Amino acid sequence: MTISPPTSILFFTYIFILLYTINAVEEVETHIQVYFHDIVYGSKSTAIRVAQATSTYTSLTAFGAVVMIDDPLTETPDLSSKLIGRAQGMYAFASQEEFGLLMAMNIVFVEGEFNGSTLAVLGRNAVFSEVREMPVIGGSGKFRFARGYVLAKTNNYDLITGDTIVEWNIHVMHT
């Protein structure tokens, strides 16, 4: 078979683009485990309810409440263990059937290799389910082009204060 010149130019251009694309999408996978502390009680609270509807007060699922958070993410379930980052953003009670939260937050890392880099998390969190999955939809710094998921599992829920510790396993692909 003979390839006419215009076709061969197209062919090599195609190969070049293909190789270039393969090179450009070299990705790594990172797994980070942290413990999320949602402190709603006391003067050192990190989660503050900023809005609700009149009907929220009578809703069994707190439907309509919006909470702003700046929650610490630590290395172990102990709040005084090493601070890895913070979860900054908000969650809203978005279900009338169960405790189903809309989570919209940025994780900012303050430690190690990922210090200063962020991950954007947007997802549903049915807090009484054993394991919840929230999508990671982007990132910055070392986490450019990030996508992945967070698996969240409650570690401790204080019935008296409402403070919660959640184990987060963050899995991300990024460049």
Ligand X SMILES: *[C@@H]1O[C@H](CO)[C@@H](O)[C@H](O)[C@H]1NC(C)=O
Q: What DSSP state is assigned to residue 114?
A: G
Would you count residue 111 as binding ligand X (CB under 6 A)? yes
Q: What is the DSSP string of 34-80?
A: EEEEE--SSTT-SEEEEE--GGGGG-TT-TT-EEEEEEEEESSSSTT
Choose one: 20-28, 44-52, 110-118, 152-160; the region binding ligand X (CB under 6 A). Answer: 110-118
Which of 116, 144, 161, 162 lies at the binding interface for ligand X (CB under 6 A)?
Answer: 116
Q: How far apart are CB 147 and ligand X at their closest, in Å?
A: 24
Among candidate residues 83, 73, 70, 32, the one with its CA nearest the CA of residue 165: 73
Work out the angle at residue 96's Cα, subtended by the Cα atoms of residues 71 and 162, and round it to the nearest 5 degrees.
Answer: 35
Would you count residue 55 as binding ligand X (CB under 6 A)? no
Would you count residue 141 as binding ligand X (CB under 6 A)? no
Rounded Cα distance between 95 and 155, Å, is: 23
Q: How far apart are CB 115 and ligand X at their closest, in Å?
A: 4
Q: How far apart are CB 108 and ligand X at their closest, in Å?
A: 10
Q: How far apart are CB 110 and ligand X at their closest, in Å?
A: 6
64 or 141: CB nearest ligand X: 141
Q: Do β-strands 47-51 and 28-38 pair in parallel, antiparallel, or remain unpaired?
A: unpaired
- The first and second tokens of residue 21, run together, are 């694309």
Would you count residue 81 as binding ligand X (CB under 6 A)? no
Q: How far apart are CB 77 and ligand X at their closest, in Å?
A: 21
Rule CB under 6 A: which residues touch ligand X? 110-111, 115-116
